[in-house]
Amino acid sequence: MNSTLQTSTLEFLQDLSMNNNREWFQANKSQYEVALDNFKSFVKSVELALQEKDVIEKTKVFRIYRDVRFSKDKTPYKTNFSAGFTRAGKHRRGGYYLMLEPGQFHVAGGFWNPESKDLQYIREGIARDAEDLKAAINDENFVKRFSSLAGDELKSSPRGYSKDHPEVNLLRKKQFLVSQNFTIADSIQPDFKNEVVDCFISMIPMFDAIRDMLLYDGNGEERM
């Protein structure tokens, strides 16, 4: 298994971005299959290394075919390869994501769109005691990699919380996401998978802080 991303894989995505049509894709299907196999091997190597520090329940490589039924953009293919990793069990919340596209390699993770009830629990936890979450996102390594939490947020405080609440900036958030971008030159290095895994590991304290808000109520009892 060749776990190093190949320049030919990057070249295929670059060519696809300039020829995003079915005729070109079919004529270059063999190149696509080689590029996809290389990307899958890289993803598998990340999964195996990550399993040494976390427990991954599911790894999914996303399809390159776009769903154009409800989109104004009718180009049939994505111009990237991407994959997601789901952590195992209710005591491991949060998920990991990576994407290779022309020009950069993108590593991300977090809580993309919490359900309304989960978002309520997170906000209750933040209002009650945000110290573990703040410690995670203010950690030196976390800040160096991700700078700060990203994602959609409200313009003002959520209903039921004062705009003067000391944690209003966290309470306004609807998503809890982090990301780091790498250059293409970075991504083709033989040990790049280790950099990706280290990036994912840096997210775990944030995941665990939010997990506790989701799992335990204000009395420290586990939610049913």
pLDDT digits (tens, 9 = 90+) for 90-141: 777 889 999 999 999 999 999 998 999 999 999 999 999 999 999 999 999 9
Domain count, the chain: 1
Average pLDDT of the chain is 93
| Average pLDDT over every residue of 166-173 | 96
In a domain, 45, yes or no: yes
In a domain, 35, yes or no: yes
187: its two tokens: 């991504």
In a domain, 208, yes or no: yes
Beta bridge partners of 84: 60, 97
In a domain, 1, yes or no: no
208 pLDDT above the threshold of 80: yes
pLDDT for 3 equals 83
Of the candidates 214, 206, 222, 208, the residue with the CA atom closest to the CA atom of residue 122: 214
Q: Worst-scoring range by mean pLDDT, 48-52, 92-96, 105-109, 190-194?
A: 92-96
| Average pLDDT over every residue of 180-209 | 96
CA–CA separation, 5 and 191 (whole Å): 10
DSSP state letter for 63: P
Sign of CA dihedral 47, 48, 49, 55: positive
CA–CA separation, 122 and 133 (whole Å): 11
Beta strands in the chain (DSSP E): 56-61, 81-87, 95-101, 104-111, 176-182
Give buried/exposed letters for 151-175 (b at 16+ CB in 10 A, else e).
eebeeebbeebeeeeebbebbbbee
CA 118: distance to chain centroid? 18
> For the whole model, what pTM was predicted?
0.92
What is the three-class DSSP state of 173?
A: strand
The backbone region for 173, taken as left when phi is positive above 0, alpha when psi lies in -120 to 50, beta otherwise, is beta
1 pLDDT above the threshold of 70: no
Range of the domain at 158: 7-215
More confident of the two residues 151 and 224: 151
In a domain, 155, yes or no: yes
149 pLDDT above the threshold of 90: yes
Strands 56-61 and 81-87: antiparallel
190 pLDDT above the threshold of 80: yes
What CATH number does residue 198 fall under? 3.30.930
In a domain, 90, yes or no: yes
In a domain, 223, yes or no: no
CA 93: distance to chain centroid? 13
Q: How far is CA 99 from CA 84, 183, 208, 220, in A?
A: 9, 12, 24, 38
Of the candidates 50, 47, 41, the residue with the CA atom closest to the CA atom of residue 203: 50
Beta bridge partners of 108: 97, 179
46 pLDDT above the threshold of 70: yes
Q: How far is CA 120 from CA 57, 117, 123, in A?
A: 26, 5, 5
2 pLDDT above the threshold of 80: no
Q: Write the pLDDT tens digit of every residue in 63-87.
A: 999 988 888 888 999 999 999 999 9
In a domain, 185, yes or no: yes
CA–CA separation, 146 and 206 (whole Å): 12
